[in-house]
Structure 1
Amino acid sequence: MSESKDYDESCSALEVLDFEAALKQFQKLVEKTVTQKTKERLGLYIKDDDEIDYDEFYRTTQTLFGPEIKEHNVKAFFRKISNNPDAKTEWCEIFGYFIGGNGALPSQLREENTVFLTSEKQQITYPGKIFHLERDMITSIVKVPHLDFTVTSSQKGVLTIFNKKDTAWINGCDFLTQLKCVVAVTERTIIVWDYKSIRTKDNYFIIKPMENSLLCVCTATMSDQLAEDNILMGDDKGYVNLLKVTSDHFGMKQCKGKKESQLQILDSKDFHIVKRKLHDDWVLKVKYISDLNCFGSCSSDSIHSFVLDDIKRLKDNLPVKEFSVPRGVNAFAYCGKAKVIVTGGKYEAYIMSEESQFVQDNFLL
């Protein structure tokens, strides 16, 4: 009995040592990534074989800590250090936990013994009507990890399976003015929702898989279009994507008379998606400006920070009109009355005037 106990204790000690070694390697990975992102924002980084992008960061992190690491937690951590290399980080964030500090939480959430806070909360409502009518008590809860569901039993003899299906962040949405639908993008999919069917049942289409992770989306409405919409999307590899959709793609005329729920998975290979790499970092926003007949896209890239040009440039290799801003551009907006474009970065804001062919005037914040 004592030998078995000693064996268990030695195994636990080895696991602790392995975890500490993994933490040290992870800290080195974070420091190297932060250094790279800082140099990129200053325009001092020169690409080499040791460059760390998101795929490399996620692959290394999963190798260090195993399959328990969830991709959405790693992606949130990577976004945090990419957008703000000076931000304070903790290793537990990649596991979905955050350390609460003084003043970091609202007073109603503070507890005397609070150490960790989960990054996600989900309220589970009971699907049956029995719990709405009379009391019952859960007598047993069993977690089935490899199938990702939980089984419960109650005093009144009710067996229930709670199954949490995989979900993805919606990174952006817009309205398709010609098709009268809502379009949204997740990391690897495009969702088109026919909201007009809301009085009957949901009617939506999922286009997947996408090659890169989609971060933003907008509709490019042109005056000469009657029955089609153009969708602009930015991704994590610096590409701006153009997708033209019509009602024929989704067979909406055939679906209008049906009352049952319509969910259709469409292969992205069946769509003609034009894309062009305009930035060397994530495309943070893309917008079509109808007054200028141009689209704009911005990135935290210090060299190719802001692009403003005709949508036709996505289909060829001709030079585009672009501006370089130290530490990149995080957002922009156009004012039709003043005929200016305002961009915002980490420390500076720029105003570009149409009369002066969008010459930059900067203001240090």
Structure 2
Amino acid sequence: ALESIDFKNALEQFQNLVEKMIVQKTKESSGLYTKDGDEIDYDKFCSTTRTLFGPAVKDQNIQAFFRKIMTNPDERPEWPEIFGCFTGERDGMSSPSKENMVLLISEKQQITHSVVKRKDVIKGIVKVPHLHLTITASQRGVLTVFNKQCRICMIYVKMDTAWITGCDYLPNLKYVVAVTESTIILWDYISKESKSDGFVIKPMKNCLLCVCTVTMADNLAKDTILIGDYKGYVYLLTITSDDFIMKQSKTGKVSQFKVMDSESFDIPKRKLHDDWVGKIKYFPALKRFGSCSTDSTNSFVLDDIKRLEDQLPVKEFSVPKGVNAFTYCGKAKVIVTGG
């Protein structure tokens, strides 16, 4: 009975902590928040949560919970998620809503994700022009490939507490790559093999936020991807067709994917920002990658991927309150950023 009372008190304090975070984030969004000694950042949230619940909570669940509040305070996660437990969808399947739709403007046709559940949103849309494909990834695990006839190849990724945060296409291996807050998913959308839908690389120590493919035509048996995380690191990962055979984990499958141990890969990384990496993109015309962050000091970086493997200075510039988005126009030869 005493343990039950202690847990109830700890849970009440945790919920009060979450309420304060939501109020803080809401004020920040409206420009009304003034930093003071009571500010709750990730380190304070992590230490307080560990004080309340001890070793019962894992790093990846704390990271995922914190980010869900920071990115969407109106849709707060349920408290069991801090322990890695989902309560399930209480609302079940719902009728299509604007958040659950992909709009193909050029074809003037609207496509509805009939399996995307309420409170789910599309987190990534990638166009693959030479194959006439459009790839989407929803936050709660629906990966979809549309062809030019708008026929759909779709998979529902059975998620733990981690959400999908980004996706892209691997042109040489012909896989869809997606990142969650703790794993890298490689979906073999072409294969008809019923025993496996692809591979998952895990565990990833830091919360992954975005991914992009490095487009190179020098080797048809491998693809390289860039990944950004919540601590400002950018990772460089090369995957070959041999890896699918040689680097499978002995632990077998997790969900519908075969597991590959992340420690079996050489994954160079470099800290380029002092805050979350909001977006990362490779520009073949420039042979450079760009990454951005809300960090006011190292807001935008544009350089060769070789800089991720050495410590030479990178080309960067600063913007007050950081950069949230950027793109490159080849015709005008300019890069445009948005804060």
Same-fold call, TM cutoff 0.5:
yes
Gaps of 5+ in 1: 1-10, 81-88, 97-117, 125-163, 253-260, 346-365
Q: Which has more radius of gyration?
A: 1
1:54 matches 2:14? no
Three-state SS of the structure 2 residue aligned to 1:197 is coil
Deviations 1:11-59 (A, max 9, x none): 99x99998877666666667788999999x99x99xx9x9964254144
Gaps of 5+ in 2: 80-86, 94-157, 247-254
Q: CA deviation at 1:75?
A: 2.8
| Cα distance in structure 2, aligned partners of 1:201 and 1:23 | 42
- Equivalent in 332, 337, 346 of residue 331 of structure 2: 337
Three-state SS of the structure 2 residue aligned to 1:57 is helix
| Cα distance in structure 2, aligned partners of 1:181 and 1:271 | 18
Amino acid at match of 1:194: D
| Cα distance in structure 2, aligned partners of 1:178 and 1:20 | 51
Query: Superposition pairs for residues 1-365 of structure 1, below 5 Å?
Result: 53-61=41-49, 63=51, 71=62, 72-80=64-72, 93=76, 95=78, 121=90, 123=92, 166-198=160-192, 202-251=196-245, 263-345=257-339
Q: CA deviation at 1:225?
A: 2.8
Q: CA deviation at 1:74?
A: 3.9
Deviations 1:218-273 (A, max 9, x none): 00012323321111000001000000110000039xxxxxxxx9731111010010
| Cα distance in structure 2, aligned partners of 1:203 and 1:188 | 19
Deviations 1:139-159 (A, max 9, x none): xxxxxxxxxxxxxxxxxxxxx
* Cα pair 1:54 1:78 within 8 Å, conserved: no
* Cα pair 1:240 1:278 within 8 Å, conserved: yes
Q: CA deviation at 1:208?
A: 0.4
Deviations 1:282-336 (A, max 9, x none): 0011000000000000000000000000111111100000010010001111111
Three-state SS of the structure 2 residue aligned to 1:269 is helix
Q: CA deviation at 1:339?
A: 1.1
| Cα distance in structure 2, aligned partners of 1:177 and 1:187 | 23
Amino acid at match of 1:241: Y
Rate the CA distance shift 1:228–1:34 in 2: closer, same or farther, 3 A.
same
Deviations 1:141-189 (A, max 9, x none): xxxxxxxxxxxxxxxxxxxxxxx97353111111101111111110111
| Cα distance in structure 1, aligned partners of 2:7 and 2:201 | 43
| Cα distance in structure 1, aligned partners of 2:7 and 2:190 | 56
Amino acid at match of 2:281: K
Rate the CA distance shift 1:56–1:21 in 2: closer, same or farther, 3 A.
closer
Amino acid at match of 1:244: T
Query: For this pair of structures, how many residues does the alignment match?
Result: 254
Taking only the aligned residue pairs, the percentage that are identical comes to 55
Rate the CA distance shift 1:245–1:301 in 2: closer, same or farther, 3 A.
same
Give the 4+ runs in structure 1 shifted more than 2 A: 14-39, 50-56, 61-68, 70-75, 92-96, 118-124, 164-168, 198-203, 223-226
| Cα distance in structure 2, aligned partners of 1:62 and 1:327 | 30
| Cα distance in structure 1, aligned partners of 2:15 and 2:256 | 47
Q: Please, what is the CA RMSD of the aligned residues?
A: 4.4
* Cα pair 2:227 2:236 within 8 Å, conserved: yes
* Cα pair 1:176 1:183 within 8 Å, conserved: yes
Rate the CA distance shift 1:178–1:65 in 2: closer, same or farther, 3 A.
same
Query: What is aligned with 1:153?
Result: none
Rate the CA distance shift 1:315–1:22 in 2: closer, same or farther, 3 A.
closer
| Cα distance in structure 2, aligned partners of 1:28 and 1:122 | 27
